[in-house]
Amino acid sequence: MKSRQGWAELYSLDIDRAADAPVFRQIYAQLRSAILSGALRPATKLPSTRELAAQLGVSRSAVVAAFEQLLAEGYASGKTGAGTYVASDLPEPFAALRDRKKPPAPAVAIASTFRDFGDFVDVTAQNDDRPFNLGRTLVDARTAELWRKLSARTLRSFARSHLGYGDPRGMPELRKSVCDYLRAARGVRCEPEQIVITSGTQQAVDIMTRIMPRPESEVWIEDPGYALTRLALVAAGAKICPIPVDQHGINVAEGVRRAPKARAAFITSSHQFPKGVALTMARRLELLGWAREQGAWIVEDDYASEFRYGGRPLASLQGLDEAGRVIYVGTLNKALFPGLRLGYAVVPHSLVRAFVTARYLADRQPATLCQAVVAAFMEEGHFASHIRRMREAYRNQRDALVTALRSRLGDHLTVEPPDQGMHLVAYMRRGLSDVSIERAAQEHGVVVRAMSRLYVEAPAQSALMLGFSGYPQQVMAPAVARLARAFRR
Ligand SMILES: Cc1ncc(COP(=O)(O)O)c(C=O)c1O
């Protein structure tokens, strides 16, 4: 390598030929940091490209490219043939600022509603694939194969409709399939125009927080209830009113007593999260009556309703609603797999415009390629058979888990098999703290969630939530054996 000379040496320019970065990038980066540090003062004349190339032993075109980049980004000014200068209008070099006495760093500016979320928003917790994490699903070989086939077909066709902006409500084909499914399976009363494809329940809840009148007004939530709904409402500045849940579901009379003028109620009617009870017909009618009188909205989160194992399925609350007060929210992230990030809302006619506008402003539209795959999966009848097969598998997994828990931990836990959903609740018999078992279980490689953490005001019950949908039958007994060791500690 030719040794550096003169100007290049003065400003410590050095080219590393073994580096991955191209030569012109290295020259550009070194000149730029000399300018930013103040080593090269504003209005200093740079050597000619020919001269600098010779000093560095590189091609002239590399120096020209570096100068062009500096000119384009405003670090340098000049005209071809008339010399290149360090720009004279740059602010005081960072280095000079750095050397001065530092003023105290200003407090990080974030909304007060985002400061106190504690460990609920541990964004990695749901990635944990150890048994018995919540919200995980299985996909069998048949679905995996079909998914590959339909994805390949969609990508191969690469239709024009995928290249531009699409409908913010989602693809018409998918909305139609979802509409047909909900009418048949959940007794939802809807037209395709009312279906909005979302990225899942969370987005539907978020949209509702944006379009509710007076965002700071009162909202009913279930106590205990789903933390991500509560936290989304808190983050939006709503005043949450935790309403106790008993064996009949949310206690509507208590809600009316505590917050009669609430703007909305967020509920999990078919399978209350976390307790698993269904909202009785009497309570459903009471809730709808209150919403109609008050002009309040009911957001019905019908998560995991596809997985019903026994008992008489209750149709959706939305199907009973004559007054257009219910926003029905469903998710494909549970029916298929969470990585999909697709769900839907069935929105009353009077709300469609506002709902779609809020979706458009947050995120424009759902990505189309995955929607096309799901639409084909549904249209060709694979969705219905996937649900049938997984329902069978999850039922067996549930039963294996209940058997293992009763035989290993029957002295400590009371367990009833839930007739719907993807998790079960095991109540502590002897007043043991669910939080301490949650912690001990982690150390034994088992994920259980303490239900007491989902209570806001109601007296907390100590119980463990165990997800069974994500783990094959044969995993249950050995994982319960590890959980039993955590209890022994
Ligand atoms: C009560 C409840 N609703 C909805 C969901 C699904 O949320 P998403 O569709 O945003 O994945 C979950 C997932 O854990 C849940 O527990």
Dump pLDDT digits (tens) for 53-83: 999 999 999 999 999 999 998 999 987 678 9
pLDDT exceeds 90 at position 347: yes
Give 2-90's CATH code, choosing from 3.40.120.10, 1.10.10.10, 3.20.20.70, 3.40.50.12280.
1.10.10.10
How far, in Å, is the centroid of ligand 1 from the Cα of 202? 7
Q: What is the mean pLDDT of the chain?
A: 92
Q: Nearest C-alpha to atom 2 of ligand 1 is from which residue?
A: 303
pLDDT exceeds 90 at position 89: no
pTM (2 decimals)? Answer: 0.85
pLDDT exceeds 80 at position 215: no
366 phi/psi in degrees, rounded to 5? -75, 150
Residues 278-305: tens digit of each pLDDT? 999 999 999 999 999 999 999 999 999 9
Residue 12: pLDDT band with limits 50, 70, 90 = confident
Residue 139: pLDDT band with limits 50, 70, 90 = very high
Half-sphere exposure of 148 (CA within 13 A, CB side): 6
Portions of the chain given CATH number 3.90.1150.10: 385-488
**470 pocket-lining for ligand 1 (C-beta < 6 Å):** no
Fold of 109-124+159-381: Aspartate Aminotransferase; domain 2 (3.40.640)
Residue 1: pLDDT band with limits 50, 70, 90 = very low
Q: Which pLDDT score is estimated for 111?
A: 74
Portions of the chain given CATH number 3.40.640.10: 109-124+159-381
pLDDT exceeds 80 at position 466: yes
Distance CA 200, CA 197 (A): 8
Q: Which pLDDT score is estimated for 96?
A: 61
Q: Compute the CA torsion angle 430, 432, 438, 444 (nearest 10 deg).
A: -70
**Domain spanning 385-488: CATH superfamily:** Aspartate Aminotransferase, domain 1 (3.90.1150.10)
1-15, 185-199, 366-380, 418-432: least confidently modelled range:
1-15
Pairing status of strand 249-250 against strand 423-428? unpaired
Portions of the chain given CATH number 1.10.10.10: 2-90
Q: Which pLDDT score is estimated for 115?
A: 66
pLDDT exceeds 80 at position 130: yes
How far, in Å, is the centroid of ligand 1 from the Cα of 312? 23
Q: Nearest C-alpha to atom 3 of ligand 1 is from which residue?
A: 303
Of the candidates 84, 59, 63, the residue with the CA atom closest to the CA atom of residue 74: 84
**344 pocket-lining for ligand 1 (C-beta < 6 Å):** no
Do the Cβ atoms of 400 and 481 come closer than 8 Å?
no
Q: Nearest C-alpha to atom 7 of ligand 1 is from which residue?
A: 201
Do the Cβ atoms of 463 and 224 come closer than 8 Å?
no
Structure tokens, 122: 């541990």
Q: Nearest C-alpha to atom 13 of ligand 1 is from which residue?
A: 135
Rounded to an integer, the average pLDDT of 235-249 is 96
How far, in Å, is the centroid of ligand 1 from the Cα of 201? 6
Rounded to an integer, the average pLDDT of 295-322 is 93
**462 pocket-lining for ligand 1 (C-beta < 6 Å):** no
Q: Which pLDDT score is estimated for 4?
A: 61
Answer with the residue of higher pLDDT: 89 or 133. 133
Question: b/e string for 377-407 if b means 16 or more Cβ within 10 A?
Answer: bbeeebbeebbeebeeebbebbebbbebbee
Residues 336-345: tens digit of each pLDDT? 999 999 999 9
Q: Which pLDDT score is estimated for 2?
A: 45
**434 pocket-lining for ligand 1 (C-beta < 6 Å):** no
How far, in Å, is the centroid of ligand 1 from the Cα of 302? 9
How far, in Å, is the centroid of ligand 1 from the Cα of 228? 8
**269 pocket-lining for ligand 1 (C-beta < 6 Å):** no
Q: Which pLDDT score is estimated for 82?
A: 81
Structure tokens, 232: 């989304």
